[in-house]
Chains A and B, each alone.
Chain A
Amino acid sequence: MTPNGAILFGVLLIAATGLARDLTSLAIVLAVLLAFALASRRNLTSALLWSLGIVAPLAAFMALVWIGIVGRAPHEIAAGVEGSRAAATAYVALVCARLFLIAFAIQALFLRFSDWTSLAFVRALTAPALAKKALVLTLSLIETILHAIDRARTALIVAGLITRRFSAQNLRNGWVLVQTVWLTVIAIAIGRTRDKWPAEGTLARLDHALAATAPRFAHVDALWSGAALICLIIVLGLR
């Protein structure tokens, strides 16, 4: 599957998820998604658990608010009727199922390309050269910043400004950590922009490295995108 095909599949499926009005429609989306996840032969369990972990706290809050406190569904509030906790439960179930499917879809797609390098993934994307370049730069800078965070944390712990664990000191000096990280990364960015890149013409080399060499779409993309499109049509039909 190509990244372009994966994005198309993902967009269609997430659109279907967003437009689904009942649990039956969401079940159809789930079926297509599970088929895709199983066919990709990646670690399904981790994707499911991650998605559940993201949605569970939100589900708990929603249940507390809608079922526990409000006790009726939004359409019942809009109609001015007394309503019921059962309707509130159905509403919460629908919203949580939708959230879960979105999270799972993104995880399944992400796992599909987990053994690709960032450069290879961005190279295969059909996108303006500027956007591809910005994406590559951002991904690289994320690593730089995460590393800078670790180094800044070391510096501030050694200087006695923050502690390893939660403390009032950390609340007072959390800003210093942010500032230190920013300045470290800015210094790196200045060095590259002023010295290394002009000397080498590095960004021009990146253009070359990002030039797509493989076809934009593969046959398997049509299969899965077709399945997602059919799913979307069914969901629209069920509305």
Chain B
Amino acid sequence: MFTTPRLVAIALCAALNFAIGNVVYLVKLPIYLDSIGTILCALLIFPDRLAAICCAFMAGVIGIILTGLLLNPFLPWFVFTVLAIVLVSALLTGRATDTFRARPLEPLRFFGKVILYGVITGIASAIVSAPVVVYLFGGVTGSGSAFVVAFFLKAGQQLLNSALLAGLTTEPVDKTLQVLLAALLYRATPREFISMLRLPQPSPT
């Protein structure tokens, strides 16, 4: 399962997860994108779903460990969020790979699938992340969603519910953007590299 090209893809996507924060900083964008490599890894190895899950999960875990060591020490706690993103990407988002690579681009189908799978990824991510956010950060992660949490708390909601509801309002947007970027990168990847990631098929004889 772990051929040399797949090992390279894992490392590349993990490194992309880590490094993309630097890109965001250089162009001074007010967002942080930390799972593009994970989603992309699953797309690259699809349709081998099991390999896509294993490789994308490895990419995601290595990415959060390195980011945790060097940039953001709280990210490794979200390993189950990584798993949730991997499962959605390998089992669902991967079904759109033909649409993502179609030339010329079919805007309606392309963006429709990006939004659909982005929202699903966001919902899964929010549900799995909520307990970690509650226990580790007291429900508040330092982004704009903190005020959404405050609103729900003020309205009498329990902490977990508030964090979950806040996550469900923000994560789908964030993850849709990440699925969009992963799809565009997948679309731009040379055919040769994607072919390398396929296992050689046994001959009919």
Q: Which residues of A contact B (CB under 8 A)?
A: 18, 51, 54, 57-58, 61-62, 64-66, 69-70, 74, 77-78, 91-92, 95, 98-99, 102-103, 106-107, 110, 130, 133-135, 137-142, 144-146, 149, 153, 162, 165-166, 170-171, 173-175, 177-179, 181-183, 185-187, 189-190, 192-194, 197, 203
Q: Tell me if B140 counts as interface (CB < 8 A to partner A).
A: yes
**A58, B142: Cβ atoms closer than 8 Å:** yes
25 contacts between A and B (CB under 8 A): A54-B73, A61-B140, A69-B147, A74-B158, A74-B159, A102-B74, A107-B73, A130-B7, A138-B63, A140-B11, A141-B15, A142-B66, A162-B27, A170-B28, A173-B27, A175-B181, A179-B188, A181-B19, A182-B188, A185-B15, A190-B192, A193-B196, A194-B196, A203-B4, A203-B7
What distance in Å separates the Cβ of A144 from its nearest Cβ neighbour in chain B? 7
- Within the assembled complex, what's the spacing in Å between the Cα atoms of A1 and B55? 32
**A77, B156: Cβ atoms closer than 8 Å:** yes
Q: Which size bracket describes the interface of B in this complex?
A: 35 or more
What distance in Å separates the Cβ of A102 from its nearest Cβ neighbour in chain B? 6
- Complex partner residue of A149 from B26, B69, B137, B146, CB under 8 angstroms: B26
Name the prevailing secondary structure of the A interface residues. Answer: helix
- Complex partner residue of B15 from A51, A64, A110, A138, CB under 8 angstroms: A138
Q: Tell me if B128 counts as interface (CB < 8 A to partner A).
A: no
- Complex partner residue of A57 from B5, B69, B142, CB under 8 angstroms: B142
- Report chain A residues within 8 Å CB of B14: 134, 138, 141
- Report chain A residues within 8 Å CB of B184: 175, 179
- Report chain B residues within 8 Å CB of A182: 16, 185, 188-189
**B15, A70: Cβ atoms closer than 8 Å:** no
What distance in Å separates the Cβ of B93 from its nearest Cβ neighbour in chain A? 18
Closest 7 CB pairs of A and B: A137-B11, A166-B28, A141-B15, A170-B27, A95-B138, A145-B19, A74-B159
- Complex partner residue of B69 from A74, A106, A190, CB under 8 angstroms: A106
Name the prevailing secondary structure of the B interface residues. Answer: helix
Q: Which residues of B contact A (CB under 8 A)?
A: 2, 4-5, 7-8, 10-12, 14-16, 18-20, 22-24, 26-29, 36, 58, 62-63, 66, 68-70, 72-74, 135-142, 146-147, 149-150, 153-154, 156-159, 181, 184-185, 188-190, 192-193, 196
**A77, B8: Cβ atoms closer than 8 Å:** no
- Report chain A residues within 8 Å CB of B15: 138, 141-142, 144-145, 185
**A70, B72: Cβ atoms closer than 8 Å:** no
- Within the assembled complex, what's the spacing in Å between the Cα atoms of A212 and B62? 21
- Report chain A residues within 8 Å CB of B73: 51, 54, 102-103, 106-107
**B18, A190: Cβ atoms closer than 8 Å:** no
- Within the assembled complex, what's the spacing in Å between the Cα atoms of A190 and B192? 8
**A62, B11: Cβ atoms closer than 8 Å:** no
- Complex partner residue of B158 from A61, A78, A98, A181, CB under 8 angstroms: A78
**B26, A153: Cβ atoms closer than 8 Å:** yes
- Complex partner residue of A66 from B4, B36, B140, B196, CB under 8 angstroms: B140
Chain A CB within 10 A, most for which of B2, B18, B70: B18
- Report chain B residues within 8 Å CB of A162: 27
- Complex partner residue of A130 from B2, B20, B27, B66, CB under 8 angstroms: B2
- Within the assembled complex, what's the spacing in Å between the Cα atoms of A153 and B22? 11
- Report chain B residues within 8 Å CB of A186: 12, 189-190, 193
- Given A106-B69, A142-B66, A193-B4, verify A181-B11 contact (CB < 8 Å): no
**A62, B140: Cβ atoms closer than 8 Å:** yes
- Report chain A residues within 8 Å CB of B7: 130, 133-134, 137, 203
**A77, B159: Cβ atoms closer than 8 Å:** yes
What distance in Å separates the Cβ of A99 from its nearest Cβ neighbour in chain B? 7
- Report chain A residues within 8 Å CB of B19: 142, 145-146, 149, 181
Nearest B residue to A62 via CB reads: B140
- Report chain A residues within 8 Å CB of B157: 77
Nearest A residue to B14 via CB reads: A138
- Report chain B residues within 8 Å CB of A142: 15, 18-19, 66
Nearest B residue to A59 via CB reads: B142
- Report chain A residues within 8 Å CB of B136: 18, 95, 98-99
